[in-house]
Amino acid sequence: MATSRYFSTSIIRSGKSFGTTRLARRIFLACEIGQLKTEIIILKESQRLEHLAGIKYGDSSLWWIIAAASGIGWGLQVPPGTLIRIPVNADEVYEYL
Protein backbone atom coordinates (compact mmCIF):
# COMPACT_ATOMS: atom_id res chain seq x y z
CA MET A 1 0.00 0.00 0.00
CA ALA A 2 1.45 3.32 -1.01
CA THR A 3 0.99 6.62 0.69
CA SER A 4 -1.11 9.35 -0.85
CA ARG A 5 0.58 12.57 -1.80
CA TYR A 6 -2.25 14.44 -0.08
CA PHE A 7 -2.54 12.66 3.26
CA SER A 8 -0.15 11.54 5.95
CA THR A 9 -1.23 7.91 5.86
CA SER A 10 0.54 4.80 7.00
CA ILE A 11 2.70 2.66 4.79
CA ILE A 12 2.32 -1.06 5.20
CA ARG A 13 5.21 -3.36 4.36
CA SER A 14 5.57 -7.01 5.37
CA GLY A 15 2.68 -6.63 7.79
CA LYS A 16 4.24 -3.63 9.58
CA SER A 17 2.61 -0.22 9.49
CA PHE A 18 4.90 2.81 9.33
CA GLY A 19 3.56 6.31 10.00
CA THR A 20 5.28 8.35 7.32
CA THR A 21 5.44 11.64 9.21
CA ARG A 22 7.25 9.98 12.13
CA LEU A 23 9.83 8.34 9.92
CA ALA A 24 10.87 11.32 7.83
CA ARG A 25 13.19 12.70 10.50
CA ARG A 26 14.68 9.26 11.22
CA ILE A 27 15.38 8.65 7.53
CA PHE A 28 16.92 12.11 7.14
CA LEU A 29 19.22 11.65 10.16
CA ALA A 30 20.28 8.15 9.03
CA CYS A 31 21.35 9.62 5.70
CA GLU A 32 23.11 12.55 7.37
CA ILE A 33 25.31 10.33 9.53
CA GLY A 34 25.95 7.74 6.82
CA GLN A 35 23.87 4.87 8.17
CA LEU A 36 22.03 4.73 4.84
CA LYS A 37 24.09 4.83 1.67
CA THR A 38 22.90 7.59 -0.65
CA GLU A 39 23.65 9.23 -3.94
CA ILE A 40 23.26 12.96 -4.38
CA ILE A 41 21.94 14.70 -7.46
CA ILE A 42 20.98 18.23 -8.34
CA LEU A 43 17.40 18.28 -9.55
CA LYS A 44 17.01 19.31 -13.18
CA GLU A 45 14.13 21.09 -14.86
CA SER A 46 11.05 18.82 -15.19
CA GLN A 47 12.37 16.16 -12.76
CA ARG A 48 9.94 15.16 -10.04
CA LEU A 49 10.38 12.97 -6.99
CA GLU A 50 7.97 10.28 -8.14
CA HIS A 51 9.81 10.04 -11.46
CA LEU A 52 13.13 9.63 -9.65
CA ALA A 53 11.63 6.96 -7.39
CA GLY A 54 10.27 5.11 -10.42
CA ILE A 55 13.70 5.13 -12.05
CA LYS A 56 15.72 4.30 -8.92
CA TYR A 57 13.36 1.87 -7.18
CA GLY A 58 10.99 0.73 -9.91
CA ASP A 59 8.08 2.13 -7.87
CA SER A 60 7.07 5.77 -8.14
CA SER A 61 5.01 5.56 -4.93
CA LEU A 62 8.29 5.48 -2.97
CA TRP A 63 8.86 9.19 -3.65
CA TRP A 64 8.43 9.86 0.08
CA ILE A 65 11.73 8.06 0.81
CA ILE A 66 13.58 10.56 -1.39
CA ALA A 67 11.66 13.48 0.15
CA ALA A 68 12.46 12.33 3.69
CA ALA A 69 16.14 11.65 2.91
CA SER A 70 16.47 15.09 1.31
CA GLY A 71 14.72 16.91 4.15
CA ILE A 72 12.30 18.63 1.77
CA GLY A 73 8.99 17.61 3.30
CA TRP A 74 6.17 16.03 1.37
CA GLY A 75 6.09 18.12 -1.79
CA LEU A 76 6.38 16.32 -5.10
CA GLN A 77 7.22 19.44 -7.08
CA VAL A 78 10.63 20.64 -6.03
CA PRO A 79 12.41 23.51 -7.82
CA PRO A 80 15.29 22.80 -10.20
CA GLY A 81 18.69 23.15 -8.58
CA THR A 82 17.58 21.52 -5.32
CA LEU A 83 20.09 19.08 -3.84
CA ILE A 84 18.38 15.68 -3.67
CA ARG A 85 19.66 12.77 -1.60
CA ILE A 86 18.49 9.35 -2.82
CA PRO A 87 18.98 6.28 -0.63
CA VAL A 88 20.59 3.67 -2.86
CA ASN A 89 18.37 0.82 -1.69
CA ALA A 90 14.73 1.36 -0.66
CA ASP A 91 14.64 -2.00 1.13
CA GLU A 92 17.56 -0.86 3.28
CA VAL A 93 15.43 2.08 4.43
CA TYR A 94 12.74 -0.32 5.65
CA GLU A 95 15.31 -2.54 7.38
CA TYR A 96 16.81 0.47 9.15
CA LEU A 97 13.44 1.45 10.56
The range of the structural domain enclosing residue 63 comes to 16-96
- Which tens digits make up the pLDDT trace of 60-82? 999 999 999 999 876 667 899 99
* pTM of the full structure: 0.77
Residue type, 58: G
Q: Looking at the domain assignment, is residue 83 inside a domain?
A: yes
pLDDT over threshold 90, residue 43: yes
Q: Looking at the domain assignment, is residue 6 inside a domain?
A: no
Q: Looking at the domain assignment, is residue 55 inside a domain?
A: yes
Please give the span between the terminal C-alpha atoms of the chain, in angstroms, as a whole number.
17
Q: Looking at the domain assignment, is residue 51 inside a domain?
A: yes
CA separation, residue 11 to residues 44, 51, 78 (Å): 28, 19, 22
Contact between 19 and 80 (Cβ < 8 Å) = no
- Which tens digits make up the pLDDT trace of 1-24? 444 444 444 555 555 555 556 678
Q: Looking at the domain assignment, is residue 3 inside a domain?
A: no
Q: How many domains does the chain have?
A: 1
Which residue has better confidence, 33 or 19?
Answer: 33
Antiparallel, parallel or unpaired: β 38-42 and 16-19: unpaired
Q: Looking at the domain assignment, is residue 50 inside a domain?
A: yes
Mean pLDDT of all residues in the chain? 82
Q: Looking at the domain assignment, is residue 4 inside a domain?
A: no
pLDDT of residue 97: 73
Percent of the chain at pLDDT exceeding 70: 74
pLDDT over threshold 90, residue 52: yes
Q: Looking at the domain assignment, is residue 2 inside a domain?
A: no
Contact between 53 and 91 (Cβ < 8 Å) = no
Neighbours of 95 (CB within 10 A): 9
